[in-house]
A and B are shown apart, each in its own frame.
Chain A
């Protein structure tokens, strides 16, 4: 029962945090001098046209941009329970909720895949690196990991684009599916096309965390391998693979799970940048465009949604840790 009440307690506790964050997000988005109407006029002016002052006032009135902060905030928040997050002014008044519905699943999918990718690659390599400490391969892997951490995801995306232009078939770079599938329902062809597109973003998003996880896993493994229970296991006559993978790795993996809460913001951040570079239809490019056009409902909602994803992610990481690590489980109960 302990775990359940723990989850409930954590969920209730995060509600005030989310309320404060929503105020903050809205406040930050509101900070720029001028509002959407000004940005709209500026864009129109730079395109050579001009917008009448009346029309600008009309925009302002229609979206309530002339109202004080709290009233605007309230207009934004009061629709949340009904799934209404305001409208994206820069996209001809499309409801923000519709945009999110379209892009959020893909965003979550990409982030989640990148996380899984990072763990799947990093954990075995980290364990291998630790069990072969100071071997040539260990040095090489450690060095690659260092470089992997040093290359920002968006630059890696540019690199991959460059490499693929020169050496590979580049028709699957950028976007998440080919042009002919835009707006089509998902069918077999589209899924196959999609699967050909996703490796590049997943690699670009996941490499930094892969490298990071690998190094941490290596360190954890080395620590655990020093402990007496490993000696006991060896003394019992267990084979080396069983000692390493069954006894040591199970313990060494726990700090990684507790770090998922740290990984998530980094993966989400990388995903946003990589998506902008590769022009993927996730919320990254949407956020960027909304910031440029000062579309506060859209930008604010995205900032809030990302923060909520992180809050939930942290919760899941904590629960996962409680499930895998009996010591923490007992503490909770």
Chain B
């Protein structure tokens, strides 16, 4: 355990009188964390991503399942946003030329051309499909959109569903599975780790053997085997819950093992003996003295576990063992790419992978920074 040293920081209130303030452990760590620039940027990106997926109905230009039947496999328009039109006239409001579909006479695939006569200006807060957000906000206002035409920033899929909207809605699943899975992981891991380290003896022995065995069976193979258990006829919300539970139930072993070591060390320290002598109950000692001392450790491991679960969900869904339609997730969106031809003709369908990588990257940056803050010696 780290020694808590009262650290005083100088804060200049005005030019003349300087004020000294004592910072709590938490405040100190917060200051340390802010020094990790990349992690701060990563946190901002994640907060942005999570707000977008929580308010998906507002941020997504179209609904998750809305298909546009004259825009199958429409290419992304994000690269076609322009301010200057074909007659070199500048417009303050960004616009795109309307995409017009035609069939290729040979392959019968849709080919898209820009209609230079029709400009679709991008407006903010436009009225579109009505939705009920989070179960109680009824509205039809979307963050951005075009008036009459269609706006497919990242293109569309095989039945003409807007990929960006699907990514935003799919992010709900992908990003929440990590979060909820980690909550389960933390609860089980903390209970097992604390019991194992605090009580020791035969309980510790049994729990450690269980942990060893769970850790020996390769995680992904175990995920696959357990995901295969989920009945195929279950509705997709149940499947989602099943996957979350599988992730949480299997990944706690690492946390439990590390916590056990920490708790074991703390258990032998003087202040725990002091608490015992003064007659504090076991539950009080654990709750008031042990958990607060390992909390930062738990947070670090939890943060670093989220990306593993995000990747795990992506892998399972990609293989068809995870989330299933009508729900969607970033991994499930990538399933289409198992056909090599699809990737060749419609390369924009790889976009969801970018979102997976970015969110995993952000969590890794934050986790690493937290570890640094928590334990400066590990650097």
> Which residue of B has the minimal Cβ distance to A158?
B337
Q: Does B103 contact A (CB under 8 A)?
A: no
What separation, in Å, do the CA atoms of A265 and B223 have in the docked complex? 13
The verdict on A64 contacting chain B, using a C-beta distance below 8 Å, is no
Q: Which of B217, B228, B343 contacts A307 (CB 8 A)?
A: B217
Inside 8 A of A291's CB, which chain B residues have their CB?
224-225, 228, 321
A17-B213, A32-B228, A310-B216 known; 6 new pairs, CB 8 Å cut-off, are A149-B360, A151-B357, A162-B337, A165-B343, A222-B379, A292-B228
Bound: A95/B338 CA distance, A: 30
Q: In the assembled complex, which residues on chain B have CB atoms less than 8 Å from the CB atom of A31?
A: 226, 229
When distances are taken between beta carbons in the complex, the residues of chain A under 8 Å from B321 are: 291
0/1 per residue, A306-333, Cβ < 8 Å to B? 1100110010000000000000000000
Please measure, in the bound complex, the distance between the C-alpha atom of A222 and the C-alpha atom of B377, giving whole angstroms: 12
Contact with A along B256-299 (1 / 0, CB 8 A): 00000000000000000000000000000000000000000000
Interface residues of A in 3-40 (CB under 8 A from B): 17, 20-21, 24-25, 28-29, 31-33
A–B Cβ pairs within 8 angstroms, 5 of them:
A152-B311, A158-B353, A165-B340, A276-B319, A307-B218
| A: interface residue count bin | 35 or more
A269 interface residue, CB < 8 Å from B?
A: yes
Q: Distance (Å) between the CB of B322 and the closest chain A CB?
A: 12
The residue of chain B having its C-beta at the shortest distance from the C-beta of A143 within the complex is B38
Contacts of A283-313 to chain B: CB distance below 8 A: 287-288, 291-292, 294, 299, 302-303, 306-307, 310-311
B215 — nearest CB in chain A belongs to which residue? A265
Beta-carbon contacts of B226-240 to A below 8 Å, as 1s and 0s?
Answer: 101101000000000
Residues in A neighbouring B314, C-beta threshold 8 A:
152, 155
**Chain B residues, CB < 8 A from A158:** 334, 337, 343, 350, 353
Residue pair B228, A152 in contact (C-beta under 8 Å): no
CB-CB contacts of B337-363 with A at 8 A, as 1s and 0s?
Answer: 110100110010010010011101100
- Chain A residues in 8 Å Cβ range of B219: 265, 269
**Taking the complex as formed, is B318 at the interface, i.e. its CB lies under 8 A from any CB of chain A?**
yes
| Contact, CB under 8 Å: A21 / B218 | no
> Is A87 an interface residue, CB under 8 A from the partner?
no
Assess whether A21 is in contact with B217, with CB atoms less than 8 Å apart.
yes
Tell me if A200 is interfacial: C-beta within 8 Å of chain B: no
Verify if B222 is at the interface (C-beta below 8 Å from A).
Answer: yes
> Is A199 part of the contact surface with B, judged by Cβ < 8 Å?
no
B315 within 8 A of A: yes
- A150 touching B364, Cβ below 8 Å: yes
Decide if A277 is an interface residue (CB 8 Å cutoff): yes
Residue from the list B221, B231, B311, B357 in contact with A272, Cβ < 8 A? B221
Convert A238-250 into 0s and 1s, putting 1 for each residue whose CB lies closer than 8 angstroms to a CB of B.
0000000000000
Complex A-B, nearest 9 residue pairs according to Cβ-Cβ distance, in ascending order = A269-B220, A150-B361, A291-B228, A150-B360, A152-B311, A265-B218, A32-B229, A155-B353, A162-B343
A209 to nearest B CB, angstroms? Answer: 14
Chain A interface secondary structure, helix, strand, loop or mixed? helix
Residues of A close to B220: CB separation below 8 A: 269-270, 272-273
* Cross-chain contact B356 with A152 (CB below 8 angstroms): yes
Contact A150 B357 (CB under 8 A): yes
Partner of A152, one of B216, B315, B364: B315
CB distance from B290 to the nearest CB of A (A): 27
Q: Mark B68-101, 1 if CB is under 8 A from A, else 0.
A: 0000000000000000000000000000000000
A76 within 8 A of B: no
Which residues does chain B contribute within 8 Å of A150, judged by CB atoms?
Answer: 307, 357-358, 360-361, 364
Contact residues in A for B338 (Cβ distance below 8 Å): 277
In the complex, which residue of chain B has the Cβ closest to the Cβ of A277?
Answer: B338
Whether a CB of chain B sits under 8 angstroms from the CB of A137 is: no
Specify which chain B residues have a CB less than 8 angstroms from the CB of A25 in the assembled complex: 217
Nearest B residue to A293, CB-CB: B228
Contact B340 A159 (CB under 8 A): no
Report the minimum CB–CB distance from B215 to chain A (whole Å).
8
The residue among A17, A146, A155, A299 with the most chain B CB atoms within 10 A of its own CB is A155
Tell me, yes or no, whether A203 is within 8 Å of chain B by CB: no
Residue A124 interfacial (CB < 8 Å): no
Q: Is the CB of A287 within 8 A of B216?
A: no
Closest-by-CB residue of B relative to A29 is B225
Q: Is the CB of B334 within 8 A of A155?
A: yes
Given contacts A150-B361, A291-B225, contact A24 B213 (CB under 8 A): yes
Chain B residues, Cβ within 8 Å of A302: 221
Closest-CB distance, A298 to chain B (whole angstroms): 12
- What's the minimum C-beta distance from A253 to chain B, rounded to whole angstroms? 18
A51 within 8 A of B: no
Q: A21-B213, A151-B357, A307-B216 are in contact. Are A269 and B350 (CB under 8 A)?
A: no
Give Cα A273–Cα B227 distance, bound, in whole angstroms. Answer: 15
Q: How far is the CA of A17 from the CA of B221 in the complex (A)?
A: 18
Whether the Cβ atoms of B361 and A146 lie closer than 8 Å is: yes
A149 vs B353: C-alpha distance when bound (angstroms): 14
A195-239 vs B, Cβ < 8 Å mask (1 yes, 0 no): 000000000000000000000000100100000000000000000
CA–CA, A20 and B206, complex, Å: 13
Q: Which residues of A contact B318 (CB under 8 A)?
A: 154
Specify which chain A residues have a CB less than 8 angstroms from the CB of B364 in the assembled complex: 146, 149-150
Q: Which residues of A contact B216 (CB under 8 A)?
A: 17, 21, 307, 310-311, 314
